[in-house]
Amino acid sequence: MKDSDIIDLVCDVFSTITGDLNSDLYKGLNGELSIRWSEKRCFYAYAAADPDVSAPPKHIIGLTYETAILLYRDIEDYHLYIGYGADNQKFDIIFKDFEYPKTLSIESAKEYCCKNMFISGITWILFHELGHLIQEHGHIRSLYNCNDGNKIVDCAANDSETNTKLTGKASAVSHVTEMAADYYAMVSCLRALLHHFEGDELKSEVRCFSSVLALVLYRFHGVNSYTPTEIPEGSHPPPLIRLEQTTPLIFEIYSKLTTIDRLELINITSWSSYTVGLFWLRKNRHMNSDLPDDFFLAGSLQRPGMVRYHKVMIDTWDEIKPIIDSVKRIDDHFSELQFSDEYRKKLLSLKSI
């Protein structure tokens, strides 16, 4: 596809989604959701809201056209990478316990597969921003001096726009609201896939969705080793932690709502995240040197400092959740960030490592 075709596609997708949201949700709130496009040459997205949370919502989601183009080109390159099988010998060893897929989709047409992946990925980005708006994260962050006003920049060309200097409680609030937006986006996308697909088609879409999610987050991560995190710093959790928090939702939710076996879902998502990691190294010409340490997904609680980090996240979420409940625009418990009693007990039983 040409760049102009990608832009036309993303505009059509966003127009349809925002049209549905305005008629189904915002109309009842006497508000409006609108999209703002920018020609900045960078991967960039933000959510903005009126500071008065008691007024009808005037919500804005902003993106650059470049965001759509870069995502689509990543998908095209990844499709070629999987089809070429450059690392199949590695996969034969890594995934020796199950028959891993040799193609991305049951559909043979490359453009069809890439379009579906693109729609899933760009929709996830849109719903991430919507999660910020629906739960009024801009308002919450302003209470804790995370940002000026109610604009949340999620990815930008320069660090100053993503408030990377945040520390202490401000950073913790920013991190956990990012997790909450990720959670909202995941649940929204998984619901949408269930609405449109079933059986083998659903399995194929799960594979594509988990792969494009990894593509988005590895673009943020880059090609360096994971940096151990114990205390929140900056505005966003490390991308690998975000991927480790969001990916399990696929098999947690679908193992209950579909007939797909839980182990099969785990295998699919593991294959997606690992192949995207290797692809990203190849795309950035890092395969000829030693692999970066701690570059692929692992159990979040197994990483150094993660027990303490997640305890901070839970304590912070428990602190701000009542405020969110008092100002949020919809009441949908299923799409709101949750830390189960079992998970909380597990954290308490573990020593900080």
* Digit-coded pLDDT (tens) for 99-126: 888 877 666 678 888 999 999 999 999 9
**Residue 217 belongs to domain spanning:** 3-349
pLDDT band at residue 154 using 50, 70 and 90 as cut-offs:
low
* Predicted local distance difference test score (pLDDT) of residue 98: 85
Q: Which residue has the higher pLDDT, 319 or 204?
A: 319
Two tokens, residue 80: 């070629």
Count of the separate structural domains present in the chain: 1
Burial class (CB in 10 A: 0-12, 13-18, 19+), 89: exposed
Counting residues of the chain whose pLDDT is more than 70, the rounded percentage is 92
Position 251, amino acid? F
Q: Determine contact, residues 178/241, Cβ cutoff 8 Å.
A: no
Distances (CA, A) of 331 to 142, 150, 327: 22, 21, 10
d(CA 68, CA 77): 14
CA atoms within 13 A on the CB side of 156: 16
**Residue 174: pLDDT above 60?**
yes
pTM: 0.93
Diameter of the chain measured on Cα atoms: 58
Q: Which of 174-188, 239-253, 292-306, 308-322 has the least mean pLDDT?
A: 292-306
